Amino acid sequence: MTMNAALEQALESIETDHDGLIDDLQRMIAVDTCFPPGAGYGAFADLMETLTAPLGLEATRVSVPDALWQTRSGEAHGERINLIARHPGDQEVCSLYFHVDTVPAGDGWSHPPLQLTEADGKLIGRGTADMKGSIAATLSALRAAARFDLPLRYCPSLLLCTDEEGGLYPGIRYLAEQRLVEGHILSFNGGAAPRIWAGCFGSVDLKITVKGRSSHSGEPVDAINAIEQSLPLLNALYALKQQVEQRAWPMPAPPHYNGAPLISRMTLAAAHGGSKGSTVPAQFEVLINRRYAPQEPFDQVLAELHHCIDAAMAASAALAVEAEVIGHLAPVADPTGPHWPRWQAALGVGFGFTAEQFQCYGSSSSSDMGWVQQAGIQEILLGGLIRPHSRIHASDEYTTREDLVALAKSILVYLAADFTPGSAATG
């Protein structure tokens, strides 16, 4: 591979950009964008406009219409503001995708989750690895390019999107359907690993509500116990789970599967009902998560779930049984394409990966990139900061300075005009 002196100097300068990089990340972590409810998107858009303006990026706000993302359950609220921060260049565009929402902080933290803390070589805070740290790394890369006035091969367009961690209508879906995703796309919803993405499964969250009739539990006159009425449903769902997880699919599995195939998955993820011992519960809610392969039509997946529910509750005395999709991510099928060799070489520069280390595999976890494919963009590059030990979605989530710098270098090299991957680096 070849790089000129200016690009090499720019790469070296990222090493000394610690203060700017860490300050950006600290300000991002302090904005609560957890989903649910996703009420902090406006404040985060304000911050990102402040951070991207000095880089010459032109910011545009795009809100998802309420009717597309609101559900009956109402756990999501607040305007769904997506921000596009685009370089004004006229060359081929690379859309760099980030989701700005996080999962809720949850319990068990050793440090304040919405305050960036550096301890034992870790940068700890909700969203550091998944995925506000990737935004900070990208800004560091663009600062280095501006510092040395580097010509760019690709015009960067940052897509800062809502509702990846849940919800009915992720922001990137709306942007893709509105034809606001330009060029090819580089998603940072992945890991710091020598991986060629083979795609991923879809995910459906189905909320089932069983309605009974409340009364005093000591004198249950005309009572219908919603929890007790739901016992056949829970048994039927668990039996369906056993069937679903017998289905294996040809998508290449991750190396840690040790040769086992990727399978469909179904999880009884949550159950809520009742309040106290003296009251017969009038309502019981069950949340089902179903992971489905690209070969499984969504309509069939949903029909199978509804058939299971209807059959289990056919003889029930419940007043009503309702099922509502409250979250959906479409599967991703074979996102490889012509830009992957350059991205592999760029990851080699940043992280030190060799061509021989790269492996192609998918996962039964999910991504909102499936909606991008359905809108007509097939190739999706994948990178990011997630490592197996990063504790994403758990307490004390973290990344490291080393990974932030490595990712920033990879992004800079990929975008730079004065970078030519060699055959040995591209695999």
Q: Where are the beta strands (DSSP E) in 2-100?
A: 2-3, 58-63, 81-86, 93-99
Residues 401, 386 within the same domain: yes
Chain-centroid distance of CA 42 in Å reads: 19
Find the CATH number of the domain harbouring 181. 3.40.630.10
Q: What is the pLDDT of residue 426?
A: 36
Q: Which two tokens stand for residue 374?
A: 């359905």
- Alpha-carbon span 260 to 263, nearest angstrom: 9
User: Which residue numbers in the chain have pLDDT < 50?
Assistant: 423-427
Residues 388, 404 within the same domain: yes
Q: What is the pLDDT of residue 422?
A: 76
Q: Could you give the 3-state DSSP secondary structure of residue 139?
A: helix
Residues 23, 171 within the same domain: yes
Residues 51, 63 within the same domain: yes
Q: What is the pLDDT of residue 143?
A: 97
Cβ atoms of residues 160 and 139 within 8 Å = no
Find the CATH number of the domain harbouring 273. 3.30.70.360
Q: Could you give the 3-state DSSP secondary structure of residue 210?
A: strand
Q: What is the pTM of this model?
A: 0.90
Instruction: Show which of 274, 301, 329 is a domain's final residue.
Output: 329
Residues 189, 207 within the same domain: no
Residues 247, 392 within the same domain: no
Handedness of CA 141, 143, 146, 147 (dihedral sign): negative
* Identity of the amino acid at 169: Y
Residues 144, 291 within the same domain: no
Number of folded domains in the chain? 2
Instruction: Show which of 269, 300, 329 is a domain's final residue.
Output: 329
Cis omega (within 30 of 0) on the bond before 3?
no
Distant-in-sequence, close-in-space partners of 281: CB < 8 Å, separation ≥ 6: 212, 214, 225, 226, 227, 273, 274, 275
Q: Mind listing the pLDDT tens digit for each residue in 135-187?
A: 999 999 999 999 999 999 999 999 999 999 988 899 999 999 999 999 999 99
Handedness of CA 147, 149, 151, 155 (dihedral sign): positive
Instruction: Show which of 329, 362, 378 is a domain's final residue.
Output: 329
Residues 296, 335 within the same domain: no
Q: DSSP letter string over 145-167? A: HHHTT--BSSEEEEEEES-SSS-
- Alpha-carbon span 20 to 146, nearest angstrom: 14
Q: Mind listing the pLDDT tens digit for each residue in 4-43?
A: 999 999 999 999 998 999 999 999 999 999 999 999 999 9
Distant-in-sequence, close-in-space partners of 70: CB < 8 Å, separation ≥ 6: 76, 168
Cis omega (within 30 of 0) on the bond before 255?
no
Q: What is the pLDDT of residue 334?
A: 93
Residues 246, 360 within the same domain: no
Residue with structure tokens 């760099």? 96
- Alpha-carbon span 369 to 347, nearest angstrom: 20
Phi, psi of 150 (to 5 degrees): -75, 135
Q: What is the pLDDT of residue 95?
A: 98
Q: Which two tokens stand for residue 345?
A: 């070489």
Residues 65, 122 within the same domain: yes
Q: Which two tokens stand for residue 189?
A: 């919803």
Residues 290, 325 within the same domain: yes
User: Residue 253's domain spans which residues?
Assistant: 202-329
Residues 178, 77 within the same domain: yes
User: Please, what is the angle between helix 18-29 and helix 41-52, to 10°?
Assistant: 160
